[in-house]
């Protein structure tokens, strides 16, 4: 049995005050979604404040990205050890915004995944196809190769010990959510790629999840929760979505 996981990606939004306020509300409502795990990904500069509020309430905190390097002359980067030090237990790797805007390749994403696990962080590997790739019937090939790059570096078992988030690029921040059937089809294919060990791996759907569409998505057999962007910034809406994972 896979425990549902609801993840909130705050991206580059907020302030110290708003991050603490949001964390406070989530923490005080922990009893509403006891059967699920929750992790939030604040901007790096607020991680420590948020972790102070949330970890005591059994809500995890993570980094939105991580360096593949352990230390050194990498201006602006944050290592997995530093995230761990701040109280993180998860990290996003390969978010499509990182792949597209910061030119992260599947190889560097795999190295970030490895660095995370070496520092006892659970990586959430984000994969997904662009609209053009879907239109050209390349969805499964793209996702398969994004996951294969990580398997090649760390092995199948290590990937199964992480989390995979299917986030179609065309659905992120667009309001254009994948249908439950479209999402399930991809999730089932990912689980098949992970083999026997993948039966316990949590697979999340991400892309314009809201309380109005979450129930249908989360009721699919291979969808174990969600990675939520915009809607995770509104406490009430995110709490509703969290409850719909149960």
Contact flags string 159-188 toward ligand PEP, x per CB under 6 A: --------x----xx---------------
Contact flags string 9-28 toward ligand PEP, x per CB under 6 A: x-------------------
How many other CB atoms sit within 10 Å of the CB of residue 233? 18
At 204, list the tokens: 């999340």
133 included as an active-site residue: no
Q: Considering the complex, state which of residue 63 and residue 156 has its C-beta at the smaller distance from ligand PEP.
A: 63
Q: Considering the complex, state which of residue 121 and residue 126 has its C-beta at the smaller distance from ligand PEP.
A: 126
Query: Residues touching ligand PEP: how many (CB under 6 A)?
Result: 13
149's torsion region: left (phi>0), alpha (psi -120 to 50) or beta?
A: alpha
**Dist CA 246 CA 196 (whole Å):** 25
CA 34, 59, 104: angle at the middle one, nearest 5?
A: 125
Out of 49, 68, 95, 97, the active site residue is 95
Q: How far is the CB of 177 from ligand PEP (least distance, A)?
A: 8
97 included as an active-site residue: no
Of residues 132, 42, 58, the one with CA closest to residue 50: 42
Where on the chain is the footprint of ligand PEP (CB under 6 A)? 9, 167, 172-173, 206-209, 227-231
């Amino acid at each position: 049995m896979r425990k549902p996981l609801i993840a909130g990606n705050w991206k580059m939004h907020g302030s110290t005050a708003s991050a603490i306020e949001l964390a406070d509300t989530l923490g005080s409502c922990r009893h509403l979604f006891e059967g699920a795990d929750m992790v939030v990904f604040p901007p790096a500069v607020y991680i420590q404040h948020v972790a102070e509020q949330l970890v005591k309430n059994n809500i995890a905190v993570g980094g939105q990205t991580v360096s593949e390097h352990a230390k050194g002359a990498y201006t602006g980067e944050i290592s997995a050890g530093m995230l761990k030090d701040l109280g993180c237990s998860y990290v996003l790797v390969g978010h499509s915004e990182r792949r597209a805007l910061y030119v992260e390749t599947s190889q560097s994403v795999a190295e970030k995944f490895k660095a995370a696990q070496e520092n006892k962080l659970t990586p959430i590997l984000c994969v997904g196809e662009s609209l053009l790739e879907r239109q050209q019937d390349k969805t499964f090939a793209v996702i398969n190769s994004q996951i294969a790059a990580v398997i090649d570096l760390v092995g199948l078992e290590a990937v199964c010990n992480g989390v995979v988030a299917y986030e179609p690029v065309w659905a992120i921040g667009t309001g254009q959510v994948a249908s439950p059937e479209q999402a399930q089809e991809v999730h089932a294919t990912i689980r098949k790629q992970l083999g026997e060990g993948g039966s316990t791996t949590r697979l999340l759907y991400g892309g314009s999840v809201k309380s109005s569409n979450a129930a249908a998505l989360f009721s699919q057999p291979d969808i174990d929760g969600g990675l939520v962007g915009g809607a995770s910034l509104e406490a009430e809406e995110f709490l509703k979505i969290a409850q719909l994972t149960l």
